Amino acid sequence: MKILNKFLITKINTIKIIVFICFSLLSFNIEAQINWANDGESYYSLDKNQLVSYTLPNKDAKTVLSKQQLTPAGKSEPIDVAYFSFSLDQKKVLLFTNTQKVWRLNTKGDYWVFDFESNILTKIGKTLPTSSLMFAKFSPDGNTIAYVSGNNLYSEDCKSGKIQPLTADGSVSIINGTFDWAYEEEFACRDGFRWSPDSKSIAFWQIDASEIKKFYMINNTDSIYSKLVPLEYPKVGEKPSACRVGVVKLSDAKTTWINIRGDASQNYLVRMEYIPSTNNLLIQQLNRKQNKSKLYIADVLKGSVKLIQEESDEAWVDLFQIGNKYDIDYTNNFSFLKETNSILWVSEKDGWRHLYQISLEGKPEVMITKGEYDIIDLKYINSKEGYVYYLASPDNATQKYLYKTKLNGTGKNELLSPESLKGSHNYSFSSNGKYALHTFSNHFTQRTNEFITVSDQKALNEEESIVGSVKKMEEKETTEFFKIKTADNVEMDGWMVKPMNFDPNKKYPVVFYVYSEPAGATVNDTYRVAQNRLYKGDMAKDGYIYISMDNRGTPAPKGRAWRKSIYRKIGQVNIKDQAMAAKEILKWDFVDAERVAVWGWSGGGSATLNLMFQYPDIYKTGIAIAAVANQLTYDNIYQERYMGLPQENMQDFIEGSPITYAKNLKGNLLYIHGTGDDNVHYQNAELLLNELIRYNKQFQFMPYPNRTHSIREGEGTTEHLSTLYTNYLKLYCPPGGR
């Protein structure tokens, strides 16, 4: 998972689209987490709960932490390691165990330290509650560990074990060193503190949620009397949490607060890092509407700041890489260039997402990448040779390839991924950039990996070569990618799976899978992208056409105008695009216009409702799960970013909300929601139900008691949900050609 340490290179992402993913084992038994060694010639990985190092190019294996070494004194069983991170000198390793979920990810648990020189395993935070430690990490000199517990920040001396509280005011509403629900959900901010380069201080975020209203969920099942479950949740239009940055000295536990300009509750602090080899901080601030960004250098001794860069956008300033908005690692969020004393910066100001050098000394910015294409993700900086490596796909918005260009802006966009491998590539570079772990898949080729030499992009041995073995992994190509143009001249990418034994002279039912919002795209050229894991059985075998399309506003690499055309128009632009594309598809001879279904989860559930209500003559059956029925019920960071402030443009919120159009329902609707959903509150279900009842609209409804947004807790839940979904679809949108 994407937690805690900059060495973590394989991320399990949490996104607003609920996608059921089967994580396959890597093709040659590489575990989910590998940490590159400092020398760049080897990496570490967990294998059967032992820590193993592999030296390249031959992957010579050596056990560096055995089960015996992972067994605490007086115990007979080793600790079960979920995650590990090294000190900078790699002489010690932190081991994360007994993990517990905080909102979406397991970021709370117990930590142990293994010292390779003394061969001793030691538990840290012994006087604090079990499984309460968060984001433990070594100081740069490796002598101290800092962590969060109970919303307070602590340091612990590695030799003596002495624990020192660095903050004392932590509570439910005063949060030190980590974040509240909204910051975590919408900015992917979790780890909220940074060590100074000299190991003498720690900079940390403090969230003050004391003025945030509580939303109460109700637990009716765990006792004979109901229990209220409070959640500090800032709804759209409501005042955000106040946020500030402090720097605490280990010597006296005194904090200096950084005096950042602007109202702390009307601005967000979204990135913060120490500038290497200095005791200054680089801090990014967004205004409440998130359409203005400011970069400050903070003097931690004086608490003062200096503005070095600002940027604005008529819609919003995007923090996230293209694809899904949680695919960014906030533990290493600025890329510093020592040679030019600058940072790499991503901006869409010329209409495309490009890389720039932003000087920390006030020198003119340098545009590094140029052209009508988007940078999808930054992968590696080779300052010594003067190159930057990144993912892009100028010719196909559903795919990803590795490119490089010169850091000084004089180079061309040079494709590195093998041209014979059409699909989606990803890379994790070794510390020195000599090697990389290369991952590839497409819609008919299972996910596979190889270690490569970066200079020639060739596998370290032929047995693992993707180019050499990809034919063996290819399956029958059942998913078709297509483009469709609407009457509004909007061209959309889509995928389709036709029924087995397809007969073009018959008419088949079509099921549309939708998400449609800026948080994620569904049309990606990856393995099993078209697999519906809610459906019990095989949709193609049963005789369904299964389709998904990405409308304007989804985060595809098609330029700023494509992505931001949805601003203040969620529930309108995306819905019209989907419906107009569906209208074109219904012209196909083999599609049965009387058997048209649509389904989605979260934002896709909202889209499903809007499509059923706004275009009832197109969509006959809908299954909506965990939907936002009224946009005014969702959190302020997400909804205000894409819709503005309801105090200024309330009508946009009304016109984008499904509840506004509920009276138009004609078809068959199944609505599903978990009553313990802390993301999209169950209140949406009851508001929608009331409106449907008001107009005597008949529908079916399934609440899942105490289940969260993912509806997966509790024995039998997944099986029940899948059965419900499948039976309803088959009943109201019967499969098979006619």
Burial class (CB in 10 A: 0-12, 13-18, 19+), 646: buried
The pair phi, psi for residue 254, each rounded to 5°, is -95, 140
Pairing status of strand 435-442 against strand 445-453:
antiparallel
Q: What is the pLDDT of residue 13?
A: 32
Q: What is the pLDDT of residue 321?
A: 63
pLDDT in tens, 661-685: 999 999 999 999 999 999 999 999 9
- For 474, which DSSP code? B
- Alpha carbon distance 592, 661 (integer Å): 25
Q: Report whether 405 contacts 371 (CB < 8 A).
A: no
Q: Report whether 427 contacts 402 (CB < 8 A).
A: yes
Q: Report whether 470 contacts 445 (CB < 8 A).
A: yes
pLDDT in tens, 130-155: 999 999 999 999 999 999 999 999 99
Other Cβ atoms less than 10 A from the Cβ of 72: the count is: 13
Q: Which two tokens stand for residue 669?
A: 């609707």
- Alpha carbon distance 705, 724 (integer Å): 15
Q: Report whether 156 contacts 166 (CB < 8 A).
A: no
Q: Report whether 43 contacts 36 (CB < 8 A).
A: yes
Q: What is the pLDDT of residue 30?
A: 35
3-state secondary structure 657-685: CHHHHHHHCCCEEEEEEECCCCCCCCHHH
Q: Report whether 274 contacts 281 (CB < 8 A).
A: yes
Place of tokens 């940490």: 35
Over its C-alpha atoms, the chain yields an Rg (Å, rounded) of: 26
Longest dimension (CA), the chain: 80
- Alpha carbon distance 258, 302 (integer Å): 8
Smallest Cα–Cα separation from 146: which of 182, 105, 94, 185? 94
Residue 725's H or E segment, with its range, is: helix 717-732
Residue 578's H or E segment, with its range, is: helix 573-585
Sheet containing 591-601: give its strands across: 479-485, 491-497, 545-550, 508-513, 591-601, 621-625, 668-674, 700-704
- Alpha carbon distance 582, 601 (integer Å): 19
Q: Which residues of the chain have pLDDT under 70?
A: 1-32, 321-332
- DSSP reduced 3-state for 638: helix
Place of tokens 């596979």: 448
pTM: 0.92
- Alpha carbon distance 597, 591 (integer Å): 12
Q: Report whether 531 contacts 541 (CB < 8 A).
A: no
Q: Report whether 619 contacts 590 (CB < 8 A).
A: no
Q: What is the pLDDT of residue 323?
A: 54
- Alpha carbon distance 688, 703 (integer Å): 13
- Alpha carbon distance 499, 517 (integer Å): 28
Q: What is the pLDDT of residue 330?
A: 37
Q: What is the pLDDT of residue 331?
A: 39
- For 275, which DSSP code? P
- Alpha carbon distance 493, 498 (integer Å): 17
